[in-house]
Amino acid sequence: MSDPSREEPSSPGSQRALAAVGAAIILALVAIGIYTWRSLGPTQMDANGYIALILGVLGTVGLGVGLMALLFFSHRYGYDDAAGGRAGPPPDPRQPDKR
């Protein structure tokens, strides 16, 4: 398994290409959203719709923040080292503890 800290950085050209593809995808999604919104015609949303919209946005943002907090917490305290192969093999439960 390769060590991620020793990998060569990406070339500036490939980073620009990746950014351009990402920007194109975002622009396409925004265009689809605007087209869909306008094709609905003159619709009205009542209070229940706005409540559902607000709760959905808050729930999505809360989930994203919570998962990112768990990611940073796991990295800071080393819980993800074993998954990355940097912590060594797990201890053998059949062997006595050598302290």
DSSP readout, 21-63? HHHHHHHHHHHHHHHHHHHT-S----HHHHHHHHHHHHHHHHH
Give the chain's residues under pLDDT 70: 1-9, 82-93, 97-99
Q: Is residue 99 part of a domain?
A: no
Q: Is residue 1 part of a domain?
A: no
In a domain, 31, yes or no: yes
pLDDT of residue 68: 95
Q: Is the pTM of this model over 0.95?
A: no
- Structural domain boundaries enclosing 20: 12-43
Examine the domain organization and report whether 29 and 50 are in the same domain.
no
Element (H, E) at 77: none
Q: What is the largest CA-CA distance in the chain?
A: 74
* Cβ contacts of 45 within 8 Å, gap of 6 or more: 53
Q: What is the per-residue pLDDT for 42?
A: 84
User: Could you count the other beta carbons within 10 Å of the beta carbon of residue 86?
Assistant: 13
AA identity, residue 29: L
Q: How many structural domains comprise the chain?
A: 2
